[in-house]
Structure 1
Amino acid sequence: MPDSMLDGFIENRTFDELSVGDTASLSHRVTQRDIDLFATVTGDVNPAHVDLVYAAEDMFHHVIIHGMWGAGLISAVLGTKLPGPGTIYLGQALRFRHPVAIGDTITATLTLREKRTEKGDVMLDCVCTNQAGQVVISGTAEARAPRDKIRRPRIALPEIRVGRHEGMRALLDRAGGGKPVTTGIVHPVDAAALSAALAATQAGLIVPVLIGPAVTLAAVARELSADISSFRMVDTVDAVASAAAGVSLARAAEVAVLMKGDLHTDVLMHAVVATNGGLRTTRQISHAYLIDVPDFPRPLLLTDAAINIAPGLIEKADIVQNAIDLAHVLGIAKPRVAILAAVETVNPRMQATLDAAALCKMAERGQITGGLLDGPLAFDNAISAAAALEKHIASPVAGQADILVVPDLEAGNMLVKQLTFLSGAVAAGVVLGARVPVVLTSRADSPATRLASCALAVLISRATQPA
């Protein structure tokens, strides 16, 4: 290997410098991310190529998709080592001889077999082996070697974010595996809201009750070419009447979930939180997001980013308890709860840190149950074990949080939007603490987000409503 390979440069071997028998190699460990990258670049969405379940059933395609990465390694050896920069790749003849699985380490080795002086062409034997020494790819490659010496800085590869929303996929699978829940769709008088109800119905999540002006609902259905004749409808005159009707149906146990349509959140929530005739319980009503961030190892619950503007300590205690109860519904037996602030130490001038310390003491005394609390914790210390270690924070919650409790609505709203718009997260949201879960969707929400939010509410309803 030339010294340049070790000092941040790549350097070629010209045609005249090459000798028959010269060899070079590169290794790569195959990951699911590789498969996702291949599918993203090529548009190949064949389940046998991108889904491990199908791939295991179709070993031919299993070989092909992973073989492409082996062929890519061969190209990388040609372009960076043998002959190196300036090489023109002319062709290849490869055979895929053995399946390659995620977790295998593939080593591509090229050996110069023949030099052709007239045009500077070279033939190379190519062999790719796995960590056990099995030959998975073999064949030949033909290239035109450079005549001039080239030495270039090694270019840093760009960071590419490729991730799956496995948490949301699991949520939809689980919610779709039970009996559909009767759901009041409050004022779905635009295409997005009615489409969300139709998608949730088709997914087997809900039995919809459409609440809104019948004439308008029929017009929207025609626009979507959708047949809603079999759905129960409650005819209302406007958004305020739709919200009141939805709450009345929930109080009468005729619907077990409410889902916001095309009306302002405050109109619906005004009816939900009304002292007389609303859906209040002894709990403070709050909102929680279930957030699935690509490349992050687990979903996160974030509360409250939509209902309580500046909650006090007593309100925060209920917000925390609501989130813990939701975590239990999701199968997290002892959720780790991080009470967020700007710093990880108690500061009398920062109310959020005082509230965090008090909430932890309330949990110790049994006023908050079912979870493991710590705070104050800064966001990085809550989700990153490395950051917590750097700050010398010894805590069973730090770096492992399942629930993030923000100090106020503004902080929560900004955080969830940063995660969704900058990190590619999907956030399913639901109102907690009322008699029934309430799905609050936004005009900016994607169909996937609306469906995931509905699935979350369905799981809560099944867990809390009488059978």
Structure 2
Amino acid sequence: MIPQRIERPHDKYEKLLAAARGMGVMPTAVVHPCDPVSLESALAAAESNLIAPVLVGPEAKIRATADKAGCDIAGLPLVDAAHSHDAAARAVALVREGSVQALMKGSLHTDELMGAVVARDTGIRTARRISHCFVMDIPGYDQALIITDAAVNIAPSLEEKVDIVQNAIDLARALQFDEVRVAILSAMETVNPKVGSTIEAAALCKMADRGQITGAVLDGPLALDNAINEEAARIKGIHSPVAGRANVLVVPDLEAGNMLAKSLSFLAGADAAGIVLGARVPIILTSRADSLLTRLASCAVAVLLAEARRKDAAKAII
């Protein structure tokens, strides 16, 4: 028997949506929206005053999808593309020319979209490593929880983890976390030379002490229990601003992150809004298995991130 999800209030996502709706709609290229879920998601985000969709993909397929799903796309701009790879390239070109401020994945594989994003001469990379964050709404946990990286970087090096951590911190600040508390996870909370992730965790924390990572308080290595449960941290004798109260979890590698996020989703009834960071614009990743609210939350996260970047750019000019 497939476990049934329990209906519950989603107060954390509702707060994100309320904050994002005050920022104004964000022009967003929706890449290859050729199935009902991705097209309906884009329209729902538009109706929620989050994004202004620009549909990018094979025109005939998009219109056939709209007819089948009963969606009215008459008023939306549509950029024709030959196929999914071409749609990704054309969407990235819209970013480069300043026509859109975000990308939203439709019915193409993530690798196809990211291939266009990271293309050497035509992509939209920055000096930062590109990474992925889940913003989790978990029953029983009193705050939104960011998990990184569970979708892009397979086995990141210490150097790459610096960017992964900084991307997550910048996201948490954009989402208006009161205090950003980052737990660098491992299987244990002590440094063990035989477990590389514990050494990297200690190095990342020292780098934060030296100002190489900014905007948050870090602790690690921490095991999952003493990162998010204050009683577990107390029993282990761990005293820090992060232990038991983390709101950002940095995992050792993609396998650990993917299993953690999916365990929370399918065993604990959590929802996971997805966003890719480190490119010139936010990249909204949704899954066909996501609820509509989760898909809207992913858009809200992108809106808040884009607004925070605009404010930072304005400060730099001043």
Into which bin does the TM-score normalised by the smaller protein fall?
Answer: over 0.9
Aligned residue number for residue 380 of structure 1: 225
Cα offset, 1:163, TM superposition: 4.4
**TM-score normalised by the chain length of structure 1:** 0.65
Cα offset, 1:162, TM superposition: 7.3
SS for the counterpart of 1:442 is: coil
* Alignment-mate amino acid for residue 234 of structure 2: L
Matched length: 308
Alpha-carbon separation, structure 2, partners of 1:179 and 1:209: 16
Q: After TM superposition, where is structure 1 displaced by more than 6 Å over at least 4 residues in a row?
A: none
More strand by proportion, 1 or 2? 1
| Equivalent of residue 93 in structure 2, options 248, 255, 276 | 248
Alpha-carbon separation, structure 1, partners of 2:117 and 2:108: 14
Cα offset, 1:226, TM superposition: 1.8
Cα-to-partner distance string for 1:65-89 (whole Å, 9 max, x where unaligned): xxxxxxxxxxxxxxxxxxxxxxxxx
| Equivalent of residue 206 in structure 1, options 11, 33, 51 | 51
Cα-to-partner distance string for 1:267-309 (whole Å, 9 max, x where unaligned): 0001111121111101001011111111211111110001000
Contact 1:292 1:426 in 2 (8 A): yes
Aligned residue number for residue 292 of structure 1: 137
Alpha-carbon separation, structure 2, partners of 1:165 and 1:420: 14
Aligned residue number for residue 336 of structure 1: 181
Cα offset, 1:428, TM superposition: 0.7
Alpha-carbon separation, structure 2, partners of 1:376 and 1:458: 32
Cα-to-partner distance string for 1:16-49 (whole Å, 9 max, x where unaligned): xxxxxxxxxxxxxxxxxxxxxxxxxxxxxxxxxx
* Alignment-mate amino acid for residue 305 of structure 1: A
Alpha-carbon separation, structure 2, partners of 1:199 and 1:439: 14
More helix by proportion, 1 or 2? 2
Aligned residue number for residue 351 of structure 1: 196
Contact 1:182 1:209 in 2 (8 A): yes
Aligned residue number for residue 216 of structure 1: 61
Aligned residue number for residue 67 of structure 1: none
Cα offset, 1:458, TM superposition: 1.2
Cα offset, 1:443, TM superposition: 2.7
Establish whether residue 316 from structure 1 lines up as the match of residue 166 from structure 2: no
Cα 1:392–1:163 change in 2 (3 A) is farther
Establish whether residue 368 from structure 1 lines up as the match of residue 246 from structure 2: no
Aligned residue number for residue 267 of structure 2: 422
Alpha-carbon separation, structure 1, partners of 2:63 and 2:173: 40
Alpha-carbon separation, structure 2, partners of 1:366 and 1:246: 36
Contact 1:163 1:295 in 2 (8 A): no
* Alignment-mate amino acid for residue 58 of structure 2: P
Q: Which blocks of at least 5 consecutive residues in structure 1 are unaligned? A: 1-160
Cα offset, 1:363, TM superposition: 0.4
* Alignment-mate amino acid for residue 35 of structure 2: D
Contact 2:23 2:303 in 1 (8 A): no
* Alignment-mate amino acid for residue 301 of structure 1: I
Cα offset, 1:461, TM superposition: 1.2
| Percent of aligned positions that are identical | 56
Cα-to-partner distance string for 1:379-402 (whole Å, 9 max, x where unaligned): 000000000001111111100101
Contact 2:29 2:54 in 1 (8 A): yes
Contact 1:292 1:300 in 2 (8 A): yes
Aligned residue number for residue 278 of structure 1: 123
Max radius of gyration: which structure? 1
Alpha-carbon separation, structure 2, partners of 1:252 and 1:413: 34
| Equivalent of residue 225 in structure 1, options 61, 65, 70 | 70
Cα offset, 1:333, TM superposition: 4.7
**TM-score normalised by the chain length of structure 2:** 0.94
Q: What is the Cα-based RMSD across aligned positions, in Å?
A: 1.4
Alpha-carbon separation, structure 2, partners of 1:298 and 1:459: 17
Contact 1:164 1:295 in 2 (8 A): no
SS for the counterpart of 1:287 is: strand
Contact 1:327 1:333 in 2 (8 A): no
Aligned residue number for residue 3 of structure 2: none
* Alignment-mate amino acid for residue 282 of structure 2: P
Aligned residue number for residue 404 of structure 1: 249
Cα offset, 1:164, TM superposition: 2.4
